[in-house]
Amino acid sequence: MFSKLFLDRLPSTWRLAILQAIIVGTSIALCLTLAGNALRADLEINARSVILDDLREYSLIYQKLGGQGLTDLFTAGQHSGIQSIRITSPDGQMKSEHKREDGLAFPWPDLLHLRKMANVTDLLTVEHPMGFPHQLIGRIVLPDGNILWCGRSDAADLVYLQHIHDYLWLAGVAAAIISLIPILWYANEVMHPVRSMIASAKALARGLGNSRLTASSAVPELRDFADAFNTALDRNDALASELQAANDHLAHELRTPLARIRGNLEAFHDEVKNPGAGDAAARGLDEIDRATHLIQTILNIRAGEHNALKLHREKISLGELLGGIADIYATSAEDRGLLLRMEFTSDITLAIDQQLVTQAVANLLDNALNYTPPGGSIILRLEVEDDQAIIHVLDTGPGLLPDELETVWHRFVRGSASSASTPGMGLGLSLVRAIATSHGGRSGCNNRDGGGADFWFTLAHGRETPA
């Protein structure tokens, strides 16, 4: 539900931290608001009760001691710092007044307005024009007809509220710090094992040994997942081993009878005098060679995918090797109305299997020749980086659909641009990837901006010296 609030690549630890911050911040603000409002309401009720009680008390004192006695007792009392009293005649003339001791001259409202207040039961809150604390004012009619006014400042209440707010803020900060504990637990007990599992999964995807998911310090659910996943991998490895053994046995069993049949056909072809029989024998030899090549290609792909392809490495100038291949294919490209050229800015000497790398480049060039329409161009490009050499074959053909950029590398898969007349069985690119993998490299493809495709593979293992 909350996933749409974050960027797709934002780590889940940061997502949890942001959500935690929102929840804690909202909770603190809500607590401060509710507690502040409730406390402010209680203080206002208490202030009203104090004013009403003091008015009744001051009225009794006035009856016994008079106005001067009330002033003396008020001055000696504990409320003189926050209260002000005033005695007026019924027509509004002031007879005596005692102001707050803090020196703030609080303006009383117009007496005509105050006369509208009911006796004792009604109070009025007056705001100070200079932004000072407000004052709550009440009145009571004395027995002699004079009116006693009492005003109480909310300065002390504001100080008390501020202290409460400060304590609430401290509690909120402490709660925010404590809320980091589940985030730290999540990062250590969940995300750290997940990252370890991701690294193991990437190693598996690259085919690096017999890697397995490790989550020894993870939560029980992740440990159970890792165990179940590793069990599935062990079963797949067992099946792959059985399949590999079956393939090896099948290849051995097929190559021997195919070799015998080929030898018999060669002898028959050499001895037969009938032209028709000779042609049939020649076609049989071609089919046997085709089947033998197919079997060997499948075995090479399987071996390359499992880093088991045997390499006969030798130091070779990659620029010279690619230049020779380009020269060989230039004539075929010209016959098809295509322009083939070689591009490289620097050469490099690598320890590679020359035959396999030549076969990989030839497979890419064959595809480019088959799918590029007349009038197009093909580029064989060599790029040298710090840790690898990249070989590109770029064409101006129809390109690939987005979902084909990866699937075309699978066995017996051909692109949507192929047809029944297009040669091949969908093994060429699989062999290119197997050869690249066996040399410690990668392979891939993408569509060019101006049309056409760019197929490439890298060579990383066995590098010697730059030319």
- pLDDT of res. 118: 47
Nearest to 363 by CA among 291, 448, 425: 425
| Claim to verify: residue 349 and residue 230 sit in the same structural domain | no
pLDDT, mean over the chain = 78
The pLDDT tens digits for 43-69 are 888 888 888 888 888 888 888 888 777
| Bigger pLDDT: 392 vs 127 | 392
Which of 152, 177, 202 is the last residue before a domain boundary?
177
- pLDDT of res. 353: 92
| Bigger pLDDT: 74 vs 389 | 389
**Over residues 78-89, mean pLDDT:** 71
Tell me, yes or no, whether 96 lies in a domain. yes
Domain CATH code at residue 215: 1.10.287
Domain CATH code at residue 134: 3.30.450.20
| Claim to verify: residue 162 and residue 236 sit in the same structural domain | no
| Claim to verify: residue 304 and residue 330 sit in the same structural domain | no
Tell me, yes or no, whether 201 lies in a domain. no
**Over residues 299-311, mean pLDDT:** 74
Query: Please, which residues bridge with residue 348 across strands?
Result: 466
Number of domains in the chain: 3
| Claim to verify: residue 48 and residue 168 sit in the same structural domain | yes
Which of 5-9, 179-183, 235-239, 386-390 has the least mean pLDDT? 5-9
| Claim to verify: residue 172 and residue 217 sit in the same structural domain | no
| Claim to verify: residue 389 and residue 370 sit in the same structural domain | yes
Tell me, yes or no, whether 193 lies in a domain. no
Domain CATH code at residue 358: 3.30.565.10
Range of the domain at 75: 12-177
| Claim to verify: residue 326 and residue 414 sit in the same structural domain | yes
In which band, very low, low, confident or very high, does the pLDDT at 422 lie, cut at 50, 70 and 90? low
| Claim to verify: residue 323 and residue 411 sit in the same structural domain | yes
Which of 177, 197, 219 is the last residue before a domain boundary?
177
Which of 177, 198, 232 is the last residue before a domain boundary?
177
| Claim to verify: residue 304 and residue 325 sit in the same structural domain | no
Tell me, yes or no, whether 189 lies in a domain. no
| Claim to verify: residue 364 and residue 271 sit in the same structural domain | no
| Claim to verify: residue 141 and residue 51 sit in the same structural domain | yes
| Claim to verify: residue 154 and residue 237 sit in the same structural domain | no
